[in-house]
């Protein structure tokens, strides 16, 4: 009897958490098409903007979040910066003409740092949403 009482709660948690990811990030529904979190705590969002705009906003956002100057590779669309104790890497990949894939990972003290990657992604998507709105 106790197991059947827990089943609806567990299903609600299991089904809601991945679907609520954009809402948890607090971004507009028009920016994020899909999302996933890889096993190594890399946060991936498919964004409904072109790679050029997303890359420009990602670099600007990482620059503002970082404690030190960031390292940028424009050819690969990859940037790395230090946010607090974490070394955060952002990359933008072209998906098609109207969308791209944004990846954010972080390492702190040699270990994957999911919360730092999630926070950086949240800020980048917020900045992208603001740029889109203006």
What would the pLDDT profile of 1-22 be if each residue is shown by its tens digit?
444 444 343 334 333 344 444 4
Query: 72 lies in which domain range?
Result: 2-133
Alpha-carbon span 124 to 90, nearest angstrom: 10
pLDDT for 134 equals 76
For residue 65, pLDDT over 70 is answered with yes
Average pLDDT over residues 103-113: 95
For residue 73, pLDDT over 90 is answered with yes
Alpha-carbon span 50 to 48, nearest angstrom: 7
3-state secondary structure 79-98: EEEEECCEEEEEEEEEEECC
Write the CATH number for 14. Answer: 3.30.530
* pTM to 2 decimal places: 0.76
Alpha helical stretches, state H, 1-134: 2-19, 21-25, 51-65, 114-133
Task: Give the model confidence (pLDDT) of 22-53 as tens digits.
Answer: 444 444 445 777 777 888 889 999 999 999 99
Q: State how many domains the chain has.
A: 1
């Amino acid at each position: 009897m106790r197991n059947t009482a827990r089943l609806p709660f567990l299903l609600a948690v299991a089904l809601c958490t991945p679907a609520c990811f954009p809402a948890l990030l607090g971004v507009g529904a028009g920016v994020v098409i899909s999302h996933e979190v890889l096993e190594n705590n890399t946060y991936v969002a498919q964004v409904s903007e072109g790679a050029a705009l997303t890359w420009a906003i990602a670099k600007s956002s990482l620059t503002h979040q970082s404690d030190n100057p960031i390292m940028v590779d424009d050819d690969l669309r990859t940037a790395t910066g230090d946010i607090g104790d974490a070394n955060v890497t952002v990359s933008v990949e072209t998906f098609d003409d109207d969308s791209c894939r944004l990846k954010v990972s972080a390492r702190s003290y040699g270990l994957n740092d999911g919360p730092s990657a999630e926070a950086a992604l949240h800020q980048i998507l917020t900045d992208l949403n603001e740029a889109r709105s203006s």
